[in-house]
Structures are given as C-alpha cells and as structure tokens.
Amino acid sequence: MVVERIPVGVVVERRPARSRWQDHVWRVTAALPGTAEAAPWTVLDEAGGVTRYWAGTAELVLHSGDTEVYKHNVEGAEPRLYVVLRRGASPTGWVLLLATVDPSEAQAHAEAGDDLLEALPLPAALHGRVAAFVAAHHVERRVWRRRRDRADPEALGRRRPDILAGERR
C-alpha cells in the first residue's frame, strides 16, 4: 500500500458567542499547504474580540487503498478538507488532531462527541496533490454482489416429526 503524507497548516479563530450559555466559539477558518516556523497556538491576529491562532501543522495522510473516497471528494462539486480539533492540554484547551479528505473518517469524528469538526473548501494546491495521487493509484473495482441461492418454499415450512415431538416436551 502506498502512503503519501502532506503537511497542512491550520488557522483557528476564537470569537465571542452570541449566546448566554457560552462565552466564545471556536472555528477552523483556513488550511494552508505546508508548515510554518511558528509554534502551535501562536496568536496571529487580535481585533474586535476575535483572536486568530496558528493551530499547528496536521498531516494529511493519503492511502492508496482509499482512493475511491478521495476520488468522489475531489471530483465533487465542492471538494472539502476536513479538520478535527479535540479537547486537550494546550493553552487554548484544543489540540489539532487531524486533517483529512475522507468524508467517512470525518463522519467518525463527528460522532465521537466532543471533537470540533470543520469542513473547509479544499485549497487548490492540495486539490492538485490529492487529484494526482488518485490518478496515480486509483484502481476501479467492480462491485461484486453475492447471488442468493433460490429458496425452496416447500423446505421452509416442513419439519421432521421427531423434532416436533421433542419441542413439545
């Protein structure tokens, strides 16, 4: 199996909430191909109560066995990059967990409970790399469906008399 790893830098913002139940809202706002020299959770900008952070670098991992889901995402009307943050030990209380182009992997993290999942438009540079990976490694697989044996309706309702006698005891 061929594996390709692409570094993806993630920008997150914290803004005041319009709710009486929470003070602020976290949102992933950008994903950039490559890495940066900045340490994770470095403040990039602060204005009007909104703080933007460099959350760090996640690794977008592409597996040659999963190209079918990547292909559907890349060829879709709106290709997406999914970024997952998880509560953890950091100055902000969040840890950058992963970036993926696999919608089913993102769905699994959406059901995990406390993870923060954002679907961003797939940046053009990443789109090109993922499309090239799919073109190089995708193999169309024929959908194989099992044929069922024809059932014998006469055999379905019949039971041996000795079994019936044993059940009545």
Residue 11 is assigned to a structural domain of this protein: yes
Q: What is the pLDDT of residue 156?
A: 65
Residue 45 is assigned to a structural domain of this protein: yes
Q: How far is CA 99 from CA 83, 88, 90, 126, 165, in A?
A: 4, 17, 18, 12, 63
- Taking residue 128's Cβ as centre, other Cβ atoms within 10 Å add up to 13
Residue 164 is assigned to a structural domain of this protein: no
CB burial class (10 A; 0-12, 13-18, 19+) of residue 81?
A: buried
Q: What is the pLDDT of residue 161?
A: 64
Nearest to 62 by CA among 11, 30, 95, 100: 100
Q: What is the pLDDT of residue 150?
A: 76
Q: Rounded distance, CA 20 to CA 23, Å? A: 7
pLDDT block averages, 10 residues each, the chain of length 169: 94 92 93 90 94 95 94 95 93 92 92 88 95 92 80 65 59
Q: What is the pLDDT of residue 71?
A: 94
Residue 158 is assigned to a structural domain of this protein: no
Q: What is the pLDDT of residue 163?
A: 60
Contacts for 35-41: CB closer than 8 Å, 24+ residues apart: 35/7, 35/9, 36/9, 40/90, 40/96, 41/90, 41/91, 41/92
Count the helix, strand and coil residues of the chain and give each as a percent rounded to the nearest 5. Answer: 25, 40, 35
Residue 21 is assigned to a structural domain of this protein: yes
3-state secondary structure of 114: coil
> Which amino acid does the sequence have at 10?
V
- As for how many domains the chain has, the answer is 1
3-state secondary structure of 61: strand
Residue 156 is assigned to a structural domain of this protein: no
Task: Note down the domain range covering 45.
Answer: 3-79+121-137
Q: What is the pLDDT of residue 104?
A: 92
Residue 110 is assigned to a structural domain of this protein: no
Q: Are 36 and 53 in contact (CB under 8 A)?
A: no
Residue 161 is assigned to a structural domain of this protein: no
Q: What is the pLDDT of residue 36?
A: 86
